[in-house]
Amino acid sequence: MSTINVKVAAVEEVTPLIKHFRLESEDGADLPPFSGGSHIVVTMDAEGRTYRNPYSLMGSPSDTRAYHISVRRQESSRGGSVFMHERVQVGMRLKITHPVNLFSLSKLAHKHILIAGGIGITPFMSQIEDLKAVDADYELHYAFRSYEQAAFVNELEEKCEGKLYCYADSQNERIDLTELLRHQPLGTHVYVCGPSPMVVAVLETARNLGWPENNIHHEEFSAPPVGEPFKVQLARSGIEVEVPAEMSMLEAIEEAGVAADSLCRGGVCGRCELTVLETDGGIQHHDHYLSDSEKVSCRSIMPCVSRTKGKRLVVDL
Amino acid sequence: MERGYWIKSKPIYTSLTWHEKATSHLVLATGIGGMAVLKLFQQMHPTQPVTVLYGKYGQIELDYSDTLKSIIQDDLHLYKFEEDLLKKLQVLLRDATMGLRIYVAGSEGFIWDVVAAAKPFGIQESEIMKEQVDTLARTVYCVHCKTITKYVTTNITCCNGCERMLFVRDHFSRNLGAYMGLMVDAESPGELPAIEEIYP
């Protein structure tokens, strides 16, 4: 995948847990244009291993002089977010991918309901710019732990002009999803980005109320879940790769020097799908791409997030 | 139709079944489509509110109005003209909310008239459950003069606008609700294949 060389132009601590990075191209040229909801994958070369983490672009799509990303320090980080927090400083060089949008706004929608949980606010920051540009009807519902820990609330209040609704867990404020989704006019689309339980709750509520699949959009940047170590055999290349507990199968394959295809690295897009030839313990599917019946069949695996429960897996790669 | 050959744009219709998950239901049917509605009401009745719009128009079509009146305890509206039915549809959609599920049964022409009426309300055609009944007659769009000719039952038809002889393709436009019609004798004027009624 072609990469762009960027330098870190600014680093700002937004909250004790969230840092905001401004990235500019190394040669000072404009960066490729993007649409609201796009993300990039940042490659980090730490000693002994490479991290590739996806981050939403949160700047205005009309400004291509710089890309803006925000990184939350993950409590159970496998290393990527800690690297971004502790090691990345102004002037440092990073490699990023071209922007990809797997969470784009529907142009057919008459109204947009955006639901964010915590750091899941980032893709909406650029989407709001797109919505404002066409004067679209929208509401932003932003849930977080507390006002002290919430990022960009003031900035959003100013941008959204009364269309922002905040919910602080510390003050026992919760989004009543059924109430919110029950009374929306025809042609409304709902978008959710946040922690997994929140995404699942929004998807289930909308589906139970009879919302068509086309009107429901979600994005989830969860780190690949940690599991038991196992061995994966790449049948075509004849290579055996050890997958450690805290590394995803995709990362381990890449580390072994095999250029596996991938895009979102979050189990959503389906690009990294591999055919399973053999498994001795079944698959732990963590993706949102395969259908339930495909998951049961164990014929495919999304190596960016999924693992095996067994000791050994053979894939067609 | 040739074996193994399929144009993806050709719509596939199903038989109507209630969506289990919904906040309300709207059923639209004309003519013999009334039978599809009766079959729908043989299934377990949804717990959510149901509205039915039925039109009996066309002289020779079967009329299910009386049967529907005696069977359907829900909000039922009967019409003589399609325009009146579609007007009522628009009134209902104006105040409807997400969770309304729409079901249509009738000729292909009626199905896509409903799709076109619902589109300005942000309803995508894939959300509408469709059952084709009665005739296979096609609505044909002349790719040369853009005229739409309705109720075409033959493989080759004369365009209502430019009078070219058009071959009726399987290529279907969801936007226009019509099959593409291409001039059949452009290269050898007047030489026409046999005209047959294949969409009775």
Q: For A280-305, how does the pLDDT look when each residue is reduced to its tens digit (9 = 90+)?
A: 988 999 888 999 999 999 899 999 99
- Three-state secondary-structure class, residue B194: coil
Chain A nearest-CA distance from B164, in A, is 36
B29 shares contact with chain A (CB less than 8 Å): no
- Calpha distance A129→A62 (Å, rounded): 8
Would you list the domain boundaries of chain B?
Answer: 24-132, 138-183
B121 shares contact with chain A (CB less than 8 Å): yes
What residues in B contact A212, CB-CB < 8 Å? 124, 126-127
Residue ranges of chain A assigned to CATH 2.40.30.10: 3-97
Residue with tokens 């990527």: A80
Portion 171-200 of A in contact with B at CB < 8 A:
181-188
Mean pLDDT of B49-61: 83
Q: Please state the length of chain B.
A: 200
pLDDT at A259: 87
Mean pLDDT of A233-253: 91
Instruction: Select the residue of A182, A185, A214 nearest B127 (Cβ to Cβ).
Output: A214
Please return the burial class of B40, using the count of CB atoms within 10 Å of its CB with bins 0-12, 13-18 and 19+: buried
Residue ranges of chain A assigned to CATH 3.10.20.30: 230-315
Q: Domain A3-97's class?
A: mainly beta
Distance of CA A80 to CAs A89, A199, A263, B136, Å? Answer: 14, 23, 17, 60
Say whether B98 and A110 touch across the interface (CB within 8 A): no
The answer to whether the beta carbons of residues B116 and B177 sit under 8 Å apart is yes
Residue range A230-315, CATH number: 3.10.20.30
- Calpha distance A176→B177 (Å, rounded): 40
- Calpha distance A279→A46 (Å, rounded): 32
| Residue B27 C-beta-side C-alpha neighbours within 13 Å | 32
- Calpha distance A177→A187 (Å, rounded): 18
- Three-state secondary-structure class, residue A119: helix
Chain B nearest-CA distance from A114, in A, is 16
**CATH 3.40.50.10190 matches A111-219:** no
Residue with tokens 């075509």: A236
The DSSP bridge partners found for residue A20 are: A12, A70
Which residue type occupies A86? E
pLDDT band for B1, please (50, 70, 90 cuts): low
Chain B nearest-CA distance from A62, in A, is 27
pLDDT at A143: 97
Rounded-to-10 torsion of CA A201, A203, A209, A213: 180
Instruction: Select the residue of B19, B22, B98 nearest A188 (Cβ to Cβ).
Output: B98
pLDDT at A107: 93
Query: Which segment of A219-228, B64-73, B157-166 scores lowest on mean pLDDT?
Result: A219-228
- Calpha distance A103→A122 (Å, rounded): 12
The DSSP call for residue B143 is: T
What residues in A contact B121, CB-CB < 8 Å? 110, 186-187
Looking at per-residue pLDDT, the higher value among B3 and A59 belongs to A59
Whether the pLDDT of residue A263 is over 80: the answer is: yes
| Buried/exposed code over A99-121 (b: 16+ C-beta within 10 A; e: otherwise) | bbbbbebbeebbbbbbbbbbbbb
Cβ neighbours of residue A285 under 8 Å, at least 6 residues apart? A295, A301, A302, A306
What residues in A contact B122, CB-CB < 8 Å? 108-110, 185-188
Mean pLDDT of B81-101: 96
State the average pLDDT for chain B: 93
- Identify the CA nearest to A17 among candidates A95, A78, A115, A86: A86
Say whether B122 and A109 touch across the interface (CB within 8 A): yes
- Three-state secondary-structure class, residue B33: helix
pLDDT at A69: 97
Mean pLDDT of B45-58: 91
Whether the pLDDT of residue A222 is over 70: the answer is: no
- Identify the CA nearest to A249 among candidates A230, A267, A263: A230
Condensed to tens digits (0 to 9), the pLDDT of residues A145-199 reads: 999 889 999 999 999 999 999 999 999 999 999 999 999 999 999 999 999 899 9
pLDDT at B6: 81
Mean pLDDT of B92-103: 97
pLDDT at B60: 62
Whether the pLDDT of residue A1 is over 60: the answer is: no
Residue ranges of chain A assigned to CATH 3.40.50.80: 111-219
Rounded to the nearest 5°, which phi and psi values hold at A199?
-60, -45
Chain B nearest-CA distance from A36, in A, is 21
Condensed to tens digits (0 to 9), the pLDDT of residues B121-170 reads: 999 999 999 999 988 999 999 999 999 999 999 999 999 999 999 999 99
pLDDT band for A45, please (50, 70, 90 cuts): confident
pLDDT band for B78, please (50, 70, 90 cuts): very high
The answer to whether the beta carbons of residues B29 and B191 sit under 8 Å apart is no
Condensed to tens digits (0 to 9), the pLDDT of residues B16-33 reads: 999 999 999 999 999 999
The answer to whether the beta carbons of residues A5 and A25 sit under 8 Å apart is yes
Condensed to tens digits (0 to 9), the pLDDT of residues A73-93 reads: 987 667 889 999 999 999 999
B126 shares contact with chain A (CB less than 8 Å): yes
The answer to whether the beta carbons of residues B138 and B179 sit under 8 Å apart is yes
- Calpha distance B197→B200 (Å, rounded): 6
State the average pLDDT for chain A: 92
Please return the burial class of B115, using the count of CB atoms within 10 Å of its CB with bins 0-12, 13-18 and 19+: buried
Whether the pLDDT of residue A217 is over 60: the answer is: yes
- Calpha distance A155→A298 (Å, rounded): 46
**β B148-152/A283-284 pair status:** unpaired
pLDDT at A13: 95
Instruction: Select the residue of B99, B121, B122 nearest A210 (Cβ to Cβ).
Output: B99
Looking at per-residue pLDDT, the higher value among B173 and A269 belongs to B173
Residue B14 CB: number of other CB atoms within 10 A?
9
Please return the burial class of B45, using the count of CB atoms within 10 Å of its CB with bins 0-12, 13-18 and 19+: middle
pLDDT at B61: 66
Q: How would DSSP label each residue in A46-58?
A: ETTEEEEEEEE--
Percent of chain A with pLDDT over 90: 77
Which residue type occupies B31? G
B90 shares contact with chain A (CB less than 8 Å): no
Residue range B24-132, CATH number: 3.40.50.80
Chain B nearest-CA distance from A211, in A, is 5
Evaluate the CA torsion angle B123, B125, B129, B130 in order and state its sign.
positive
B91 shares contact with chain A (CB less than 8 Å): no
pLDDT at A90: 96
Kindly identify which residue of chain B lies nearest to residue A180, measuring between CA atoms.
B98
What residues in A contact B22, CB-CB < 8 Å? 209-210
Whether the pLDDT of residue A240 is over 70: the answer is: yes
pLDDT at A155: 95
Kindly identify which residue of chain A lies nearest to residue B95, measuring between CA atoms.
A185
Mean pLDDT of A10-30: 95
Size of interface A-B (CB pairs under 8 A): 53
